[in-house]
Structure 1
Amino acid sequence: MEKDFNELNSAQTADEEVKESIITHGNLKSAFAWLSFLAFFSVLNETVFNVSLPDIANQFKIPPSTANWVNTGFIIFFAIGTLIFSKISDTYGVKRLLVTGLLIYSGGSFFGFLAQFSFPSVIVARIIQGIGASAVPGLIMVIVAKYIGSKDRGKAFGLIGSMVALGEGIGPVIGGIIADYIHWSFLFLLPMMTLVSIPFFLKVLPNEITPKGKLDVVGVKSQLSTGIMTFTLPSLFLNRKFMAGVLAGCVLLGTVAGFVSMIPYLMRDVHQLTASMIGGGIIFPGTISVVLFGIVGGTLVDKRGINLVWYLGIILIVTSFLVIALFLDTTPWLMSAALILTFGGLSFVKTVISTTVAEALESNEAGAGMGMLNFACFMAEGVGIAMVGGLLSQRLLDFPLLPTVTLSTAFLFSNMILLLIVFIIIGGVIYTMAYRRS
């Protein structure tokens, strides 16, 4: 017992020394920069392939349902890996796992670039990328919590959050430019830039020793089993408000993700826009507006309450979807304007879901509960993208319905958006029924 206590004290002392070394050696700003750099590239790969999906479908002569697995495969394994890496970080050390993840990320990227002529190989490469990239989000949080002093921690989280939003927003722009002027396969090379961060983290992060000095296979199984059990705690599943919040978040985020994945096909078929125009002119204004709407939404929650922000979010999404469905064949720039409302509403909805789900949890359930929310929503986004791709390929909704839509190439997309409105309303009702105030 005394030995264990001394080891614990030594570990705590080591942690404090690391924090001090970051500050006294002038590495704090560098730490912020490299952490933000990794956060940017971890989310960039979620969106950078989006606008090039029609090009990929054309090259391999495959339907959208198949081409969309370029994104779906990445997102699903990214979600699963995020859960696993964060769970085993205490056992195998942040430095070791982070470097391993970055090497896997870059290895998958290089393999994808070399295997660009085989679609199954492209999917395998995206899965490997997802596994490697998943090391970044959870481990960044651990690094900030353990090795950044408390007075600088809020600043670090805020900066990282901003870079995540920037990565999501600028991904379609970068993807469109590269796909138009070079080739979509070069998108695989972007994550290899993360390799330049490895020397910094090898220098700054401590060498956390695995117990007994060797790989503990039993420990891995134990950690994974513990993680699985944590996310299936009966108390969470019996918590009606928690489960309703998770379900509503999954429905809403999955629906919007599916809608966004449809935009490149819509713009290409109806308006004949290039990938760079779709990414920079159509999608970028909406995705970058998330930063502003996130600030506004958080302020409104604090000042006016959750209900107002929730209903505003649902109204903004439904209104933007309805406008697009009615007039999508008139001008492509209407889509650009409407997407600002879509992403603004999504930002409001995310703020409310995160806040209310957190409030529904006991303090000892917070980590597992919020982890389950993030995991479920990531998975829902992948499912939403796959479902929309399937509906586009089957073309079951390809018939005239709205009198305002006259182009035959627009019928399918207009009717698809009407269907997505139904899912948004269902998600809104699920949440409202569970969280309605007396």
Structure 2
Amino acid sequence: MNKSYSRLTVRYNHNQVLVWLCVLSFFSVLNEMVLNVSLPDIADYFGKPPAIANWVNTAFMLTFSVGTAVYGKLSDQLGLKKLLLFGIIMNCFGSIIGFAGHSFFPILITARLIQGIGAAAFPALVMVVVARYIPKENRGRAFGLIGSIVAMGEGVGPAIGGFIAHYINWSYLLLIPTVTMITVPFLIKLLEKEERVEGRFDIAGMVLMSAGIVCFMMFTTSYKVFLLIISVVLLLLFIRHIRKAADPFVDPALGKNASFMIGVLCGGLIFGTVAGFISMVPYMMKDVHHLSTAAIGSGILFPGTISVIIFGYIGGLLVDRKGSLYVLTIGAAFLSISFLIAACFIEATPWLMTTILVFVFGGLSFTKTVISTIVSSSLKQKEAGAGMSLLNFTSFLAEGMGIAIVGGLLSISLLDRKLLPINFDGSTYLYSNMLVLFAAIVVMSWLVILNVYKRSQKNG
């Protein structure tokens, strides 16, 4: 009787942990997606160009990407429970600051930086919690459930964001992460106290890398050359530092693995390009077709984001049956062809963009599946943890950079001219040329990955 009761209690605790992890996963993704559709409204509210307004998302992605690497390295030293609770509190703290001070742009950006610091704990630690607290025979189901919840958050984010921004106000979107506070008492009760593991944390490496990235992102906003020079100097100092550090923030040995680095860099280019495109869609739909924020969120973005669930499943099946490079080619074709069709028919019905976005998100889903597969296959067993952590960090960072770079290009006249033999009105040339540029980046990245991995297969 006691043994049976004990087993039921343990199973009940495991299920409770999983429920609250799903809540955290859902709202962490939602926090990333909901404000994207409101970027034009935020730009109009503050009277800022896209290069500045896009920092509402770029600031979040900056600390979010760096944070995922930091939390992963600190999890053994400080314990999952403390870090997870710290992340929740910081995320909610940033939300309240952002909502209270949303009328002041510097406060809004500061709040998004704080939100990113907090939200980074969720993807970095949730999977580790599953590995430690969920029984081995149930982990597959747990990972699958969390993956589905994340996909659902990505799907409904634009619809929720568009509805609230249009019918209430975009500032209320900042309060959504505060819902995660309901998980705190349960996680305190359910997660065990862990023993600390002694170790060093490379603070100098983190600071050098973060400062270099910030300067580069600021360069993409203002195009002031001195910021680019500072960025390059800081990143060179970072590379020099990690070669000498006892426990470096990034393992320099990974840089010697050519296949791994090509996969990470080219994958980052594709992810950043798609993130930049998605951030451009609301501006494009408002400028070219004069759609409302609600219509953009629910009618244009929602079908594409929700299709990720289906394409993710199909992509996994195709990788197993046809191979990674086959699926990568399909994903790259979806992306590049979709961008080119949008570039040529941008002034056609806005609902064409709905269909295009379904294939863009499908191509992104295929590409993410493949990049993870081929990058992991290029790593030795002892490099797997550090390598996959670097891939996740690079992917999140590339998305933030993509949003910043696209915002900068939308704010200058570099591409605002007729380049294609098609007659458009007004600012349509700018968006059309950007779409052609996106297609070129995807095709170039695909060709490089294809060449490198075919060569490595022959040599292997």
Return the TM-score normalized by structure 2: 0.86
State the AA in 2 paired with 1:112: G
2:219 aligned partner: none
1:324 aligned partner: 342
Q: How far apart, CA to CA, are the structure 1 residues paired with 2:313 and 2:246? A: 34
Paired residues of 2:250 and 2:390 also in contact (CA < 8 A): no
SS for the counterpart of 1:27 is helix
SS for the counterpart of 2:110 is helix
Runs (4 or more) in structure 1 with deviation over 4 Å come to 20-23, 218-231
Aligned residue among 445, 448, 453 for 1:427: 445
Q: How far apart, CA to CA, are the structure 1 residues paired with 2:418 and 2:395? A: 33
Q: How far apart, CA to CA, are the structure 2 residues paired with 1:318 and 1:70? A: 27
Shift of 1:422: 1.4
Task: Answer yes or no: is 1:240 the counterpart of 2:283.
Answer: no
Per-residue Cα deviation, 1:8-54 (whole angstroms, up to 9, x for no partner): xxxxxxxxxxxx77853623332222111100111111111001000
Shift of 1:89: 1.3
1:197 aligned partner: 183
2:224 aligned partner: none
Shift of 1:237: 0.8
Task: Answer yes or no: is 1:258 the counterpart of 2:254.
Answer: no
State the AA in 1 paired with 2:452: A
1:39 aligned partner: 25
Q: How far apart, CA to CA, are the structure 1 residues paired with 2:423 and 2:297? A: 24
2:237 aligned partner: none
Aligned residue among 346, 351, 354 for 1:333: 351
Q: How far apart, CA to CA, are the structure 2 residues paired with 1:26 and 1:188? A: 33
SS for the counterpart of 2:427 is helix
- Which aligned pairs between 1:406-421 and structure 2 lie closer than 5 A? 406-421=424-439
Aligned residue among 299, 310, 313 for 2:317: 299
Aligned residue among 6, 10, 25 for 1:24: 10
Task: Answer yes or no: is 1:365 the counterpart of 2:383.
Answer: yes
- Which aligned pairs between 1:187-226 and structure 2 lie closer than 5 A? 187-210=173-196
Q: How far apart, CA to CA, are the structure 2 residues paired with 1:52 and 1:98? A: 29
- Measured on the aligned residues, the alpha-carbon RMSD in Å equals 2.1
Paired residues of 1:328 and 1:405 also in contact (CA < 8 A): no
Q: How far apart, CA to CA, are the structure 1 residues paired with 2:309 and 2:204? A: 36
Paired residues of 2:159 and 2:294 also in contact (CA < 8 A): yes
Paired residues of 1:327 and 1:404 also in contact (CA < 8 A): no
State the AA in 1 paired with 2:51: S
Paired residues of 2:201 and 2:249 also in contact (CA < 8 A): no
The 1:23–1:350 alpha-carbon spacing in structure 2 relative to 1, beyond 3 Å, is farther
SS for the counterpart of 2:103 is coil
Paired residues of 1:230 and 1:368 also in contact (CA < 8 A): no
Shift of 1:346: 1.0
SS for the counterpart of 2:149 is helix
Paired residues of 1:22 and 1:204 also in contact (CA < 8 A): no
- Unmatched tracts of structure 2, length 5 or more: 1-5, 207-241
Aligned residue among 153, 159, 162 for 2:145: 159
Paired residues of 1:327 and 1:405 also in contact (CA < 8 A): no
Shift of 1:208: 2.3
2:209 aligned partner: none
Task: Answer yes or no: is 1:395 the counterpart of 2:381.
Answer: no
- Higher mean alpha-carbon deviation, 421-430 vs 281-290, is at 421-430
The 1:368–1:220 alpha-carbon spacing in structure 2 relative to 1, beyond 3 Å, is closer
State the AA in 1 paired with 2:342: I
SS for the counterpart of 2:12 is coil
SS for the counterpart of 1:43 is helix
State the AA in 1 paired with 2:307: S
Aligned residue among 122, 129, 133 for 2:108: 122
- Which aligned pairs between 1:377-388 and structure 2 lie closer than 5 A? 377-388=395-406
Q: How far apart, CA to CA, are the structure 1 residues paired with 2:58 and 2:405? A: 10
- Which aligned pairs between 1:80-99 and structure 2 lie closer than 5 A? 80-99=66-85
Query: What is the total number of aligned residue pairs between the two structures?
Result: 415
Per-residue Cα deviation, 1:48-76 (whole angstroms, up to 9, x for no partner): 10010001100111000000000011011
Aligned residue among 53, 58, 65 for 2:39: 53
The 1:190–1:326 alpha-carbon spacing in structure 2 relative to 1, beyond 3 Å, is same
2:216 aligned partner: none
Shift of 1:224: 8.0
State the AA in 2 paired with 1:181: Y
Q: How far apart, CA to CA, are the structure 2 residues paired with 1:275 and 1:112? A: 20
Paired residues of 2:33 and 2:157 also in contact (CA < 8 A): yes
Aligned residue among 355, 362, 370 for 1:352: 370
- Unmatched tracts of structure 1, length 5 or more: 1-19
Shift of 1:420: 1.3
Shift of 1:232: 3.5
Shift of 1:363: 0.4
2:53 aligned partner: 67
Per-residue Cα deviation, 1:126-157 (whole angstroms, up to 9, x for no partner): 00000011111121111111111101111111
Aligned residue among 294, 303, 308 for 1:285: 303
Q: How far apart, CA to CA, are the structure 1 residues paired with 2:44 and 2:102? A: 13
Paired residues of 1:84 and 1:224 also in contact (CA < 8 A): no
Per-residue Cα deviation, 1:246-280 (whole angstroms, up to 9, x for no partner): 01101111111111110000000001111111111
Paired residues of 1:88 and 1:224 also in contact (CA < 8 A): no
Shift of 1:231: 5.4
Q: How far apart, CA to CA, are the structure 2 residues paired with 1:181 and 1:152? A: 42
Q: How far apart, CA to CA, are the structure 2 residues paired with 1:305 and 1:378? A: 25
The 1:91–1:34 alpha-carbon spacing in structure 2 relative to 1, beyond 3 Å, is same
Aligned residue among 114, 128, 150 for 1:142: 128
Q: How far apart, CA to CA, are the structure 1 residues paired with 2:180 and 2:442? A: 37
The 1:22–1:128 alpha-carbon spacing in structure 2 relative to 1, beyond 3 Å, is farther
State the AA in 2 paired with 1:123: I
Q: How far apart, CA to CA, are the structure 2 residues paired with 1:405 and 1:428? A: 30
Shift of 1:411: 1.3
Per-residue Cα deviation, 1:400-422 (whole angstroms, up to 9, x for no partner): 33344422231110111111111
Shift of 1:220: 5.1
State the AA in 1 paired with 2:343: A
Q: How far apart, CA to CA, are the structure 2 residues paired with 1:396 and 1:345? A: 28
Return the TM-score normalized by structure 1: 0.90
